[in-house]
Amino acid sequence: MSEIQRRTIHFTLNGRAVSAEVASNDTLVEVLQRDFQLTGARESCGQGLCGCCTVLIDQIAVSGCLALAALVDGKEVITVEGLADHGSLHRIQESFIAKSGFQCGFCTPGFELMTKQLLERFPHPTDDEIRHYLSGNLCRCGTYSDIVEAVKYAAKEVTEVNA
């Protein structure tokens, strides 16, 4: 095996300053699961194609199965566990429940984080914008039409809150 180096990284995880000792080949998903017991980001395809491992690094959605943990040193990481505020669900989470935007739930955290990024950039997305934005997330249960409804419902609530 090629030389594995270990180092300590410091980053912000869901608003809290944290540190972890990571190997140079550790992925972010592995570190989140192993060192922080955060199970919302999950590896499925292992190639950055399904979106189950989506996390936000400095507000940008990335595939946590391809992101090396060592590279989040000094950055801000938000996972699905960081969406709720003191136990009260984020409007996106509430919308996914209200519109049945999931079945098995394995892909759901990824969809929610992509939706967060979508609504920050397009507060009033069209159906096409929603579809294109979420086209990198896969749901084998086939709940896409409910997911689109959930996103629209979340967007409507944003608008109402802003108004």
Partner 1 sequence: MPSHTKSDSKTKDQPLEKPCAEPEMHEVSRSVPRLESRSKVDGSAEYIYNLRIPGMLYGKIFRSSVPHGRIVRIDTSAALAFEGVEAVITGEDIRAMIPNPYYGPAFHDQPILALDKVRYVGEPVAVVLASDPQIAEEAADLIEVEYEDLEAVFNEVEAAKPGAPIIHDFLKPAGTFTDLKHLKGRSGTNIALDAKVCRGDVEKGFAESDQVFEHVFRTGKVTHVPMEPIVTLAEMTGPNRVTIHTTSQSPSFVRSEVSRVLGWPENRVRVRTALLGGGFGAKLYIKLEVLVAALALLVRRPVKIALTMEEQFYTITKHAATVRMKTGVKKDGTIVAREVETWWNGGAYADIGPRVTQKSGFTAAGPYDIENLKLDAYACYTNEPPAGALRGFGIPQVVWAYECQSDIIAHALGIDPLEFRRRNVLTEGRPHATGTPIYNARLTDVLDQVAEKMQWSRPFDHGSGTIRRGRGIGIGIKACISPTTSGAILNIYSDGSCGIYCSTVDMGQGSDTAMSQIAAEVLGLKTEDMFVVHPDTDVTPYDMATLGSRSTYHMGNAVLLAAKDARAQLLQFAATEMGVDAAELSCRDGAVVAPSGAELTFGDVMATHFKMQSGNIVGVGSFTPPFVMANHETGQSPDITPFWMPGGAGAEIEVDTQTGKIRVTKLVNSADVGRALNPAIVKGQLIGAAVMQLGFSLFEEMLFDGGQVVNASLADYKIPGILDMPDEITADLVEVPHERAPFGAKGVGESGTFGVSPAIANALFDAVGVRIMELPLTPEKVLRAIRKAENRPLENE
Which residues are at the interface with partner 1 (CB under 8 A)?
1, 25, 33-34, 38-42, 44-47, 49-50, 52, 79-81, 83-84, 89, 93-94, 96-98, 100, 102-109, 112, 130-132, 134-135, 137-148
| Residue 89 CB, nearest approach to partner 1 (Å) | 7
CB-CB neighbours of 29 under 10 Å:
26
Pairing between β-strand 76-78 and β-strand 6-13 as defined by DSSP bridges: parallel
Cα separation, 83 vs 85, in Å, equals 6
Cα separation, 118 vs 125, in Å, equals 8
C-alpha of 103 from chain center: 17
With H, G, I as helix, E, B as strand and everything else as coil, classify residue 21.
strand
Output 11 or 79, the one with its CB closest to partner 1.
79
| Residue 20 CB, nearest approach to partner 1 (Å) | 16
The token pair that represents 111 in the structure block: 């969809």
| Residue 120 CB, nearest approach to partner 1 (Å) | 18
| Residue 163 CB, nearest approach to partner 1 (Å) | 25
Output 11 or 115, the one with its CB closest to partner 1.
115
